[in-house]
Structure 1
């Protein structure tokens, strides 16, 4: 329930103020044809003092002294202009010349939704995520309102375009976050570990993504962390499910943030009806640490660390008998990266990320303990070869050390599995603006696995053509490889890479500032998926790479910020047709985590007179397939239609003179049953398998929080 930083960000965005000096320089920025440019970055060279132009292209900047200073005006798609200041000219008329890599020029967008890269379709910013009803401050909860994703109340992880949850990788500042979700427990969804407020940008690619990223068959989520903070803030959060305390310290070119949180669902669960028989409702402690430092040479050091510990336990039915489900999880993530400009046209980015994860789980008589260490080091070099050509190259090494210990309580069965692997990767990818209307991005990625003793080469290509001022057509193709998951690799190294080929065509028109329409068609081929035949117990089976499949569909996204004053809303629709032969499926079939049709609608309205924002999010999806043991046809049944309506309200006020947000939300307002499908539970004792309904443990969740920002 990590909403503890929810809306403190809102307070900062609403009430944040710049610190001004004694002298003012103002002016107007236009294009070379006289059109006012909005959002141009205006800064004093060699300092962190800056601003942006307003809707009329105007700016006003306060500095200590104008003499001997230089002012830079930069805007995506235009050549940066640097102007010397002498203390006499306090009003400037600046005209920027369009470059080949113009924002109005074509940009490659196939498969990507981005919030920090203005050359792509900006869709969800941190504030969007927090204020999306039903997201409960979870990045993945908000992303599930975008097309291409599956709405799955039984699984908080991302299910993208027919892919399993393991087919999506998450990166923080270009470095792998190996365990970005809390542990998956039967009957309960997992949740993202990272708070949206920690990041300035969110790039969500549903396919056809850059050669920079590997080991993901379906999707990548790239999170870009915040820059150096400019204001010292203390945050206090009081919630119905716990609390949080945070503090940020700042100097001119560095900032350090620390937050601690505690969550306990027991008091809340004691007041509401639960589907599950809880013996230990969820309890967790968390610690976040961030440090940012800018150096005089332009370098930027980012350190980000997250630590969590949680435990929970409940009773359920396994093999027609009451059984206890218990889970304890400890996770530490450390990300250290450093970027350094090399001249005016090159940038070096380097870093290392480490994940330690310990999972202990008891399910009836089955007890498992998993220990996993992941370390990735990466170096990326970006250079602007010319006005229209940017080249990105890099190398990486991702190391995994995995151990799994299994035993049966009061039984003789014991099993240990482990493996170690280095995945060595290298890539090269230029982006070429051939004209202001046509761009192409060819790329290639190489990987070698020391555990599998196999290598692969992934060609990728994306192109785009601008049809009009705000319309363009994009195409993308790529081959993507991924090691089988740890649940298979722990049995041995006799596997191949799983493979997927992506084909994408995208049309986009409009502007995110006003209205944006995006339509995308895609086709994916799957090869070498892992299949297995079940043995007498979960650790006895025959594994092969002879699976295959396909996924094809259409995604539509429309967002409107102009039609209704004070209102922001978006609508998404996804259609998918997919089948695959994998796991223990006897024939090729639609997986039990896929709904053919999904519709989402999100709306937000700010009522200025009472300082309140109200929001609603509605999702409906066709029934997911499932197999009834004993049926002749596999996966021939469908669950009921899924419906979910969430509402929230945020009220801005003051307590003891401090900015405060009171946030209220309620999920599943209509009280729908929300059965998303059924999961087949294997009976390893020789009896018939049985079905477990996939339902939330609580039909409706009501949340109330008070978030105080002390400056």
Structure 2
């Protein structure tokens, strides 16, 4: 029960930072040539020694920030050694084979800087490739964290602490990246911009981040691609597609490049849904990062990406059973027509870094993002709503026995968008004693050409249903209704919009002592000014300022504790989608949404079962004004564009991570969130992202006697979102919630070759550093998770039924991973 005492003591304090101790750790498993654990291996480094247990596991502390040698000795096996250099508190996992021949391993240098003091969570990139998920990758890992929520496994989008998908910053090599505009369904997304095969460092903050990170209200994901030092290649193939990545280095070491090609086909997942379709998607991209070292002081890099996503969708039939045991119901739908979507994106960025002297450096960044998108569909659906034949012996068992509603609907869209976003930025960094000063200036030009034309017509029992937002004067049957027949929903607009943005930031960080405690603090300020213009548009120039501050203290206590306090103002100037209202018109004078964030946190590092663990606790409160309300349908966001609301978000995040199994890293997370909004002073109601409870588990394991056989478990439980009402409904009248989201993905991997435990002796495989075959089960327990509801009327009882639109069912997948 000792591990729960700090949780009780600091449940309302909270936050973390890394230890300032000057040690790191090496751990792993020692095997013999027959892959059996070796007990009694002496492991030594400097003045520290350790010994493997009966499972071959060891852990040893080593000096940090210098090159050291770790030696392995055994009475019946030859000595082996390893040179490495680790940062303070780094944990390096090293598994090896010991043989009757002496072996000298290569030198290992780890540059993964811990950033807990800044409220930033750092991940190991090497494990992400093996964690199972319908959309495997970095976003798949984020969704297991407290405060990060998603109820759509087909989407890489996520909401953080009450924010929506548009409130998250994503950087690659300090360059902001964007996603397509028109996507309305997770299954249309294809590939995330981030190529996991190219990643070196992953930093994530769920809130309270520094001024240098930009003008969004929720989170920041900061990705660093690696700079290769030798030739290498990796390959991944599965039923969902494949990827190939190549590392290249010139002979003089001045040039280096990593290039990745990916292809994905979601048919395996979409065909597991209730709607039977002809589905032929093509998602592919190529991405490269080229580095040139002109001199010891001057370096250049280029990041480029071309992505082509074609989404062809032809629904055929659908049958959804719902209702109760006593009154089972069924909705049967028959489709005609198809959907054809296209999302082509082009991205290029040049970055140069000049080291003026030992303490001062400058960076220049220029980037261009171009997206061409089209969304065309004509889908005619005829439906029957009725009671199910529950007589097991009947020939019509499971079919509709009595129809309560018959109708049809026609959905049409011809939406086109062409957007060009260009950025120019200069950044400076100056280190002086215990101080660090950072500043930056950035100009952004956004040019969007948008045509939206979509409508929906609904027919019920032979009568065209009028729009829900129009209530005509009606005196039937005494006076015939003579109004025009209008579509149930209709949006049509053409927008030519330009946005000019100028932003700047400056921040100061300092590390010091307060008595026997170590402290760190950061003060910063952001500014952004923007103007919206275009055809028949003349917006005013708007300017906002965002002061932010962080403070962290590590007391000189026996228990390894760190506390952090963050307060800051986060202004989010509107992007194009936030300017466009429900009717498709651009409102140029939409204000920046404002959020006052307060975060209290505690990191408690301790040992349990003689292995390291860390409990991170964070409490947060966000007070939001000038809120731009929105509706959420699948992953499509539609804004009111009028800043007519106030809102708040408050919650508590807990995350316990450590070695539940020796030599592996796993975590358990729990989050509580409450977020509400007050629209036009009508009172507070739940926002579309009011997730309430979240439980996540990421667990890694291996068989003790066969450590090459590994297990990866990814579990997420979220309480239902308030997304069960029609998107056009008055949120003050309808606060329906979807059912809870429950999903478990599990993967099994057999590692045939691992460079950490020895190379293959077979001629064909001698150049392989890694070779593994995985078997994955998505949605292990076949839970039915709904993303939205389809609303159908019963013509007899005048009742509206919300029929859930279910996500994917249980799916099996094979995956091959290889590295040279």
TM-score normalised by length of structure 2: 0.67
CA RMSD of aligned residues (A): 3.9
Aligned to 2:149, the other structure's residue is in SS state coil
Q: Note the C-alpha offset of 1:689.
A: 9.7
The counterpart of 1:487, out of the listed 571, 577, 582, is 577
Is the deviation greater in 200-209 or in 404-413? 404-413
Q: String of CA shifts for 1:524-570, please: whole Å, max 9, x gaps.
A: 0111112489xxxx999974212110000000010012x53244320
Q: Note the C-alpha offset of 1:633.
A: 5.5
Query: Structure 2 stretches of 5 or more lacking a match?
Result: 1-29, 31-43, 49-59, 73-79, 90-112, 319-332, 378-410, 457-486, 533-539, 581-585, 754-761, 793-797
Aligned to 2:644, the other structure's residue is in SS state strand
Provide the residue aligned with 1:19 in structure 2: none
Provide the residue aligned with 1:175 in structure 2: 175
Q: String of CA shifts for 1:46-84, please: whole Å, max 9, x gaps.
A: xxxxx566599x99769xxxxxxxxxx99569xxxxxxx
| 637 and 136 in structure 1: CA distance in 2 versus 1, 3 angstrom threshold | closer
Provide the residue aligned with 1:577 in structure 2: 674
| 244 and 438 in structure 1: CA distance in 2 versus 1, 3 angstrom threshold | closer
Provide the residue aligned with 2:264 in structure 1: 263
Q: Note the C-alpha offset of 1:175.
A: 1.7
Provide the residue aligned with 1:192 in structure 2: 192
Task: Decide whether the 8 Å contact of 1:258 with 1:287 is kept in 2.
Answer: yes
The counterpart of 2:706, out of the listed 609, 613, 619, is 609
Q: String of CA shifts for 1:370-404, please: whole Å, max 9, x gaps.
A: 11111222221111122x21111111112211111
| 237 and 141 in structure 1: CA distance in 2 versus 1, 3 angstrom threshold | closer
1:136 and 1:532 map into 2 onto residues whose CA distance is 26
| 254 and 407 in structure 1: CA distance in 2 versus 1, 3 angstrom threshold | same
Mapping for residues 271-286 of structure 1, pairs under 5 Å:
273-286=272-285
Residue 358 of structure 1 pairs with residue 375 of structure 2: no
Q: Note the C-alpha offset of 1:602.
A: 1.1
Residue 400 of structure 1 pairs with residue 446 of structure 2: yes
1:453 and 1:295 map into 2 onto residues whose CA distance is 41
Task: Decide whether the 8 Å contact of 2:356 with 2:362 is kept in 1.
Answer: yes
Aligned to 1:193, the other structure's residue is in SS state coil
1:176 and 1:530 map into 2 onto residues whose CA distance is 23
Task: Decide whether the 8 Å contact of 1:29 with 1:40 is kept in 2.
Answer: no
Q: Note the C-alpha offset of 1:424.
A: 0.9
Task: Decide whether the 8 Å contact of 2:355 with 2:361 is kept in 1.
Answer: yes
Provide the residue aligned with 1:335 in structure 2: 349
Task: Decide whether the 8 Å contact of 1:175 with 1:376 is kept in 2.
Answer: no
1:487 and 1:107 map into 2 onto residues whose CA distance is 34
Q: Note the C-alpha offset of 1:459.
A: 0.7
| 679 and 333 in structure 1: CA distance in 2 versus 1, 3 angstrom threshold | farther
Task: Decide whether the 8 Å contact of 2:786 with 2:804 is kept in 1.
Answer: yes
| 688 and 109 in structure 1: CA distance in 2 versus 1, 3 angstrom threshold | farther
The counterpart of 1:647, out of the listed 746, 760, 772, is 746
2:220 and 2:803 map into 1 onto residues whose CA distance is 30
Task: Decide whether the 8 Å contact of 1:214 with 1:481 is kept in 2.
Answer: no
Aligned to 1:127, the other structure's residue is in SS state helix
Residue 433 of structure 1 pairs with residue 511 of structure 2: yes
Aligned to 1:592, the other structure's residue is in SS state coil
Q: Note the C-alpha offset of 1:635.
A: 4.2
Provide the residue aligned with 1:240 in structure 2: 239
Q: String of CA shifts for 1:277-310, please: whole Å, max 9, x gaps.
A: 4333321221121212334324332222121111
Q: Note the C-alpha offset of 1:634.
A: 3.2
Provide the residue aligned with 1:515 in structure 2: 613
Q: Note the C-alpha offset of 1:214.
A: 2.2
| 381 and 281 in structure 1: CA distance in 2 versus 1, 3 angstrom threshold | same
Aligned to 1:197, the other structure's residue is in SS state helix
Aligned to 2:141, the other structure's residue is in SS state helix
Provide the residue aligned with 1:377 in structure 2: 424
Aligned to 1:365, the other structure's residue is in SS state strand
Provide the residue aligned with 2:554 in structure 1: 466
The counterpart of 1:108, out of the listed 85, 100, 117, is 117
Provide the residue aligned with 1:502 in structure 2: 597
Provide the residue aligned with 1:477 in structure 2: 567
Aligned to 2:160, the other structure's residue is in SS state coil
Provide the residue aligned with 2:62 in structure 1: 38
TM-score normalised by length of structure 1: 0.77
Q: Note the C-alpha offset of 1:409.
A: 9.2
2:289 and 2:531 map into 1 onto residues whose CA distance is 33
Task: Decide whether the 8 Å contact of 1:306 with 1:333 is kept in 2.
Answer: yes
Mapping for residues 528-567 of structure 1, pairs under 5 Å:
528-531=626-629, 543-561=641-659, 563-567=660-664
1:542 and 1:165 map into 2 onto residues whose CA distance is 16
| 169 and 518 in structure 1: CA distance in 2 versus 1, 3 angstrom threshold | same
Aligned to 1:290, the other structure's residue is in SS state strand
Equivalenced residues, count? 610
Provide the residue aligned with 2:436 in structure 1: 390
| 545 and 168 in structure 1: CA distance in 2 versus 1, 3 angstrom threshold | same
Provide the residue aligned with 2:137 in structure 1: 138
Q: Note the C-alpha offset of 1:273.
A: 3.8
| 167 and 53 in structure 1: CA distance in 2 versus 1, 3 angstrom threshold | farther
1:221 and 1:235 map into 2 onto residues whose CA distance is 24
1:384 and 1:218 map into 2 onto residues whose CA distance is 29
2:229 and 2:282 map into 1 onto residues whose CA distance is 34
2:715 and 2:259 map into 1 onto residues whose CA distance is 35
Task: Decide whether the 8 Å contact of 1:147 with 1:574 is kept in 2.
Answer: yes
Aligned to 1:479, the other structure's residue is in SS state strand
Mapping for residues 11-26 of structure 1, pairs under 5 Å:
none
Which protein shows a greater Rg? Answer: 2
| 445 and 610 in structure 1: CA distance in 2 versus 1, 3 angstrom threshold | closer
Provide the residue aligned with 2:292 in structure 1: 293
Mapping for residues 672-687 of structure 1, pairs under 5 Å:
672-676=783-787, 678=789
Task: Decide whether the 8 Å contact of 1:264 with 1:284 is kept in 2.
Answer: yes
1:189 and 1:504 map into 2 onto residues whose CA distance is 36
Q: String of CA shifts for 1:23-64, please: whole Å, max 9, x gaps.
A: xxx99599xxxxx9736344xxxxxxxx566599x99769xx
| 269 and 462 in structure 1: CA distance in 2 versus 1, 3 angstrom threshold | closer
The counterpart of 1:442, out of the listed 518, 523, 537, is 523
2:183 and 2:168 map into 1 onto residues whose CA distance is 15
Residue 160 of structure 1 pairs with residue 160 of structure 2: yes
Task: Decide whether the 8 Å contact of 1:589 with 1:635 is kept in 2.
Answer: no
| 60 and 530 in structure 1: CA distance in 2 versus 1, 3 angstrom threshold | closer
Provide the residue aligned with 2:226 in structure 1: 226
1:444 and 1:216 map into 2 onto residues whose CA distance is 14
Q: Note the C-alpha offset of 1:487.
A: 2.6
| 183 and 487 in structure 1: CA distance in 2 versus 1, 3 angstrom threshold | closer
Q: Note the C-alpha offset of 1:679.
A: 7.8
Query: Structure 1 stretches of 5 or more lacking a match?
Result: 1-13, 15-25, 31-35, 43-50, 63-72, 78-102, 116-123, 682-686
| 488 and 161 in structure 1: CA distance in 2 versus 1, 3 angstrom threshold | closer
| 183 and 262 in structure 1: CA distance in 2 versus 1, 3 angstrom threshold | farther
| 626 and 336 in structure 1: CA distance in 2 versus 1, 3 angstrom threshold | same
Aligned to 1:544, the other structure's residue is in SS state coil
Is the deviation greater in 211-220 or in 278-287? 278-287
Q: Note the C-alpha offset of 1:417.
A: 0.7
